[in-house]
Amino acid sequence: MFTNKSDRQYPLYLGILHSSKQLKWLDPYTYQLTLNEPKQAINILIDRQKKSTKQTHKYLTTKRCRWNFLLSSFGFSTRSNFSCGKCDNCFQK
């Protein structure tokens, strides 16, 4: 078991750990992790967040149909030239 004062650098990760029942808040400033390898778990969460940030950046900067982008991001197969005709990128074409 690992106890530490709240680290303000990781509020999102702490929230994820809490929601997955791997972290217990003792008071608003102190938490207790119940993981065997808490630092490894936090590094995994940080990597996930970095990937999510990259994907969000790609979505924001894509020139292709945003609906097409979202569908393919969530694993739905679409024609590569599929255009919804309603998003800002399709509307500009």
Residues with Cβ within 8 Å of residue 10, at least 6 apart in sequence: 42
Question: Binding Zn ion by CB under 5 A: which of 50, 84, 92, 93?
Answer: 84
Q: How far is residue 1's CA from residue 24's CA, in Å, rounded to a whole number? A: 11
| C-alpha pair distances (Å), 26 with each of 6, 32, 33, 64 | 10, 7, 10, 47
Of 15 and 85, which CB lies nearer to Zn ion in the complex structure? Answer: 85
Examine residue 35 and tell whether it contacts Zn ion (CB under 5 A): no
Examine residue 87 and tell whether it contacts Zn ion (CB under 5 A): yes
Q: How far is residue 56's CA from residue 59's CA, in Å, rounded to a whole number? A: 5
Binding mask 59-78 for Zn ion (x = CB under 5 A): ------x-x-----------
Of 33 and 65, which CB lies nearer to Zn ion in the complex structure? Answer: 65
Residues at the contact surface with Zn ion, assessed by CB under 5 A: 65, 67, 84, 87, 90
